[in-house]
Amino acid sequence: MTTLPQLTQKKLGLVIDLDTCVGCHACVISCKGWNTENYGAPLSDQNAYGADNSGTFLNRVHSFEVQPTGDDAAAQLIHFPKSCLHCEDAPCVTVCPTGASYKREEDGIVLVNEQDCIGCGLCAWACPYGARELDAAEGVMKKCTLCVDRIYNENLEEVDRVPTCVRTCPSGARHFGDLGDENSDVSKLVAERGGMDLMPEQGTKPVNKYLPPRPKDALPEFDILAPFLEPVAQEAKGFLGWLDKTLEKL
């Protein structure tokens, strides 16, 4: 079994804004592309264009229709991205019989050494978030790596040294940084917006945080626009006036 580090130097993770995620799946596609071509074994697909298709993804987006409390409250469609949360007390690590699953002391990222993974699936059973997937072609467990091969790559421009899902998100719903540093941008964002843990009752202490969606049950006020919506002239004049009268006679 693998032991967890007593303390990590950093707590690198994601902050996902459920208020601005539009469910476009750009993060899913970019994640699939980057992790198929770079770190570890490719993410395989089985019968990709058939009726009984399946595949391995490290990030998925689920959509839920939520009805807020109150008779007059409008229903909201919430898009919920989910991947490995890089928990402080990661049960997927401690159940691994070969030590393939481990948590890095230097940055808190949870990874899988695929050479030691036997595909037993114990980590998937232990994860309460369903964040691990067995790659059917490779026979090993796959999970989000926070693009560890990307965030430390000095050959990339600094703006690109973030997880590919963060770099790709068109609505700016995904943020990356050190959540162990209270002065980091992500920590300030969590404090300002009331960032939440996913299923805190599980006791895993997930590093990734979610920003709650804002209520959208009130229509915007258009009264201030009313003067601008009035027609410019009540009665057409000049050539347009003559044309309007002529057409009425037809």
Residue-wise pLDDT for 17-58, tens only, equals 999 999 999 999 999 999 988 776 789 999 989 999 999 999
91: domain CATH number is: 3.30.70.20
Residue 204 lies in a domain: yes
In which band, very low, low, confident or very high, does the pLDDT at 218 lie, cut at 50, 70 and 90? low
Residue 136 lies in a domain: yes
Tokens 């609505």 locate to 171
Q: State residue 75's pLDDT score.
A: 81
Residue 206 lies in a domain: yes
* Structural domain harbouring 45: 12-211
Residue-wise pLDDT for 117-152, tens only, equals 999 999 999 999 999 999 999 999 999 999 999 999
Residue 148 lies in a domain: yes
Strands 209-211 and 12-17: parallel
Residue-wise pLDDT for 186-204, tens only, equals 999 999 999 999 999 999 9
Residue 220 lies in a domain: no
Six token digits for residue 226: 């009313």
Q: State residue 117's pLDDT score.
A: 96
CA distance 131 to 56: 11
Q: State residue 69's pLDDT score.
A: 72
Residues of the chain with pLDDT > 90, as a percent, come to 74
Helix, strand, coil in percent for the chain, rounding step 5:
25, 20, 55
Q: State residue 108's pLDDT score.
A: 97
Q: State residue 1's pLDDT score.
A: 63
Residue-wise pLDDT for 58-107, tens only, equals 999 999 998 777 666 778 899 999 999 999 999 999 999 999 999 999 99
**Domains: count for the chain:** 1
Six token digits for residue 43: 């993410």
Q: Which residues contact 38 (CB under 8 A, 6 or more apart)?
A: 149, 150
Residue 7 lies in a domain: no
**Which segments of 76-119 are extended strands (E)?**
76-82, 101-103, 110-112
Q: State residue 101's pLDDT score.
A: 97
Of 18 and 248, the one with more pLDDT: 18
CB 9 within 8 A of CB 105: yes
Mean pLDDT across the stretch 110-118?
95
pLDDT greater than 80 at residue 249: no
Residue 230 lies in a domain: no
Residue 82 lies in a domain: yes
Mean pLDDT across the stretch 108-120?
96
Q: Which residues contact 114 (CB under 8 A, 6 or more apart)?
A: 40, 41, 100, 138, 140
CB 89 within 8 A of CB 63: no
Polymer length of the chain:
250
Q: State residue 216's pLDDT score.
A: 65
